[in-house]
């Protein structure tokens, strides 16, 4: 099954590395079902851990692209059970610093001069090093402290090779593992590929940061580092250095005289605004990307992973959250079935389970509702019915759960539902306001007018094709196509079996005839016939074994 991958010779070495890691961590059967050739001598000592732990360690060992993939999978609370999510969340892209000579050479090329000549001061030792990039502290000529982030030298070819392999493996997963098709592996890999390539472009990270900064132009309590474009490009960016208190250090927050309740409120308001109002948000708000500054300001850094929500998706999200907060089971079911798409779903059973889910929270005061718990229960319901969220919404739900967790670390009485309610109310009013209705009506009317204008031409083309005999109707029946392939294979085996039997009978007859050339004292043509029968028999046996039946 992996002949398509084998055609890409430059990836074969990397493929064998992946196979060895899979085998070592107990995923040999999975690799075999994908058709990967395994070499036991290369696997090393097998690792004995639970499934989630083995998966996490295998991803960690496979390198940058797979670590990032694990971080994306950690957002898919709709697809994986909590124990898997917990392990994926442990994936850190920390790595040893890149060789100093290579870093200096690349940085000199990107900056147009040696770092010591471009900056008033430059720290050769990085303050942070990840699998994709590392960060150095520096100072500009005017005394401004900055963070210089540079892409690791030589990382792009490795990542691109892994992305090609992941794309092909995703295709084979959908074909070879029908039970995993609901996880939409190709869609997950497409989303991951976009995210990964965006992270490789350090200038794109800065564009994301400036887009968010523009949204909070009138909100000085929300800080996004300034970008210095004179030294920013695809492989390096320079941003203002944020010297704040880490988000998960309560003692340091108290020592700095910061108001933890106010910080929780401002952080939640900022994320909700990004998601529900702007449709463009920081998709990775983990503790390392969140700092608190004097004056109870909240700073977001590292916008390499950003989420985007279309207007339609925001409407669906608002409808879902309104249904959860307002205990409207019908609204929740409608959205879930809309997201299910063409998947085979028992709508009646989904409705019953959602109604029971909503009833579980009935009568509970808003102040006691826990959005994280509600979303966790909802995603468990999705997994039970083999439903999957659209990838863009998976990032949102993960961000909401993470946000509530951080909010409660700052303030034990943090109320995520209360924080979200004004945004939901405003979004609902906007959705059904006169301006929004008029806009949607105009859009629908324009579409209808365009269809009406094109209808005569389309009908004329249809009739012309029918008169000329060019009109064709294609019916694609996947099940019949698969059955036809199976029937064709069975017919081939039957034909080979008949030919093999003919060889055996004919050779037996020839062996009884005297005269003619001999080999080892036996008729040559009889021996050749038996040899052909043997080859055909071995082919037939291998074919039957490979079919698995």
Helix (H) or strand (E) holding 244: none
Indicate whether 422 and 286 sit together in one domain: yes
From 78, 284, 302, 415, active-site residue:
284
- Please list the alpha-helical segments (H only) found in 411-523: 416-431, 434-467, 478-511
Give the DSSP H or E segment for 147: strand 145-151
Distance CA 418, CA 279 (A): 20
Q: Is 278 inside any structural domain?
A: yes
Residues 186 and 327 in one domain: no
Residue 127 DSSP class: S
Residues 422 and 483 in one domain: no
Report which DSSP code applies to 326.
T
Integer CA distances (angstroms), 381 to 80, 335, 431, in order: 12, 14, 28
Give the integer Cα–Cα distance in Å for 457 and 325. Answer: 49
Task: Let me know if residue 201 belongs to a domain.
Answer: no
Q: Are 440 and 348 in contact (CB under 8 A)?
A: no
Q: For residue 457, is it within any domain?
A: no
Domain co-membership, 182 together with 284 = no
Residue with tokens 């395994």: 38
Domain contains 243: no
**Domain boundary residue, one of 372, 404, 432:** 432
| Residue 19 and residue 162 in one domain | yes
Residues 56 and 185 in one domain: yes
455 is a domain residue? no
The answer to whether residue 195 is domain-embedded is no
- Residue ranges making up the domain that contains 504: 479-547
Distance CA 189, CA 169 (A): 9
Hey, what's the torsion of the CAs at 457, 460, 464, 467, to 10 degrees? 160
Q: Do residues 316 and 411 share a domain?
A: yes
Same domain? For 497 and 426 the reply is: no
Q: Yes or no: say if 302 and 294 are a contact pair by the CB < 8 Å rule.
A: no
* CA dihedral over 62, 68, 72, 74, signed as positive or negative: positive
**Angle subtended at Cα 421 by Cα 293 and Cα 219, rounded to the nearest 5 degrees:** 30
- Residue 281's DSSP bridge partners are 307
In a shared domain, residues 186 and 267: no
C-beta atoms surrounding 169 within 10 Å: 20
pTM above 0.75, yes or no: no
pLDDT at residue 316, rounded to an integer: 81
Domain's final residue, options 165, 190, 215: 190
Does any domain span residue 417?
Answer: yes
Pairing mode of beta strands 133-139, 121-122: antiparallel
Q: Indicate the number of domains in the chain.
A: 3
CA 348 from chain center: how many Å? 30
Chunked into runs of 10 residues, the chain (549 residues) has average pLDDT values of 46 72 75 57 57 84 81 74 81 78 92 91 89 91 94 89 84 72 76 85 94 93 95 94 83 87 89 88 82 92 86 81 75 79 71 79 60 72 74 74 78 79 77 68 77 81 77 62 67 77 75 69 72 77 64
| Cα–Cα dist 410/253, whole Å | 9
Same domain, 428 and 487: no
Supply 36's token pair.
């990967």
Q: Is there a single domain that holds both residue 491 and residue 424?
A: no
Say how far apart CA 232 and CA 202 lie, in whole Å. Answer: 8
- Annotated active-site residue 11? The verdict is no
* Residues 277 and 347 occupy one common structural domain: yes
Q: Of 368, 397, 432, which residue sits at a domain end?
A: 432
Residue 392 lies in a domain: yes
């Amino acid at each position: 099954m992996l002949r398509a991958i084998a055609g890409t010779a430059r990836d074969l070495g990397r493929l064998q590395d992946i196979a060895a890691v899979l085998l070592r961590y107990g995923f040999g059967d999975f690799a075999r079902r994908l058709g990967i050739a395994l070499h036991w001598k290369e696997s090393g000592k097998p690792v004995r851990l639970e499934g989630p732990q083995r998966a996490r360690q295998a991803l960690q060992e496979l390198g940058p692209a797979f670590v990032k993939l694990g971080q994306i999978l950690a957002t898919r609370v709709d697809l994986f059970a909590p124990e898997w999510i917990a392990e994926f969340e442990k994936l850190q892209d920390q790595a040893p610093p890149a060789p100093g000579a290579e870093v200096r050479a690349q940085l000199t090329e990107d900056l147009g001069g040696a770092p010591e000549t471009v900056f008033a001061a430059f720290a050769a030792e990085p303050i942070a090093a990840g699998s994709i990039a590392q960060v150095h502290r520096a100072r500009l000529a005017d005394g401004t402290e900055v963070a210089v982030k540079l892409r690791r030298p030589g990382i792009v070819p490795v990542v691109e090779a892994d992305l090609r392999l992941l794309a092909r493996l995703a295709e084979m997963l959908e074909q070879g593992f029908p039970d995993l098709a609901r996880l939409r592996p190709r869609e997950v890999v497409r989303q991951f590929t976009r995210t990964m390539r965006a992270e490789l472009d350090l200038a794109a990270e800065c564009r994301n940061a400036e887009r968010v900064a523009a949204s909070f132009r009138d909100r000085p309590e929300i800080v996004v580092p300034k970008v210095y474009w004179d030294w920013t490009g695809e492989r390096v960016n320079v941003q203002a250095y944020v010297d704040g208190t880490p988000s998960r250090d309560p003692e340091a927050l108290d020592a700095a005289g910061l108001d933890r309740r106010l910080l929780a409120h401002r952080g939640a308001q900022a994320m909700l605004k990004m998601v529900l109002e702007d449709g463009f948000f920081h998709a990775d708000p983990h503790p390392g990307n969140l700092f608190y500054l004097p004056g109870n300001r909240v700073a977001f850094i590292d916008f390499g992973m950003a989420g985007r929500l279309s207007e339609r998706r925001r409407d669906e999200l608002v409808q879902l959250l309104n249904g959860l907060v307002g205990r409207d089971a019908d609204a929740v079911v409608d959205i879930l079935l809309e997201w299910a798409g063409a998947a085979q779903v028992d709508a009646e059973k989904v409705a019953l389970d959602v109604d029971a889910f909503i009833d579980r929270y009935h009568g509970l005061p808003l102040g006691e509702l826990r959005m994280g718990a509600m979303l966790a229960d909802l995603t468990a319901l999705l997994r039970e019915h083999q439903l999957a969220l659209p990838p863009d919404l998976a990032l949102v739900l993960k961000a909401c759960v993470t946000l509530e967790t951080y909010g409660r670390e700052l303030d034990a009485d943090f109320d995520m539902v209360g924080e979200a309610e004004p945004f939901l109310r405003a979004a609902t009013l906007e959705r059904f306001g006169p301006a929004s209705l008029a806009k949607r009506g105009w859009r629908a009317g324009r579409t209808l007018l365009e269809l009406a204008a094109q209808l005569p031409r389309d009908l004329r083309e249809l009739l012309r094709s029918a008169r000329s005999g060019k009109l064709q109707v294609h019916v694609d029946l996947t099940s019949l196509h698969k059955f036809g392939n199976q029937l064709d294979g069975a017919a081939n085996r039957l034909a080979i079996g008949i030919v093999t039997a003919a060889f055996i009978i004919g050779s037996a007859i020839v062996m009884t005839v005297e005269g003619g050339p001999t080999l080892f004292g036996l008729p040559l043509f009889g021996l050749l016939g038996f040899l052909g029968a043997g080859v055909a028999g071995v082919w037939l046996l291998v074919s039957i074994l490979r079919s698995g039946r």
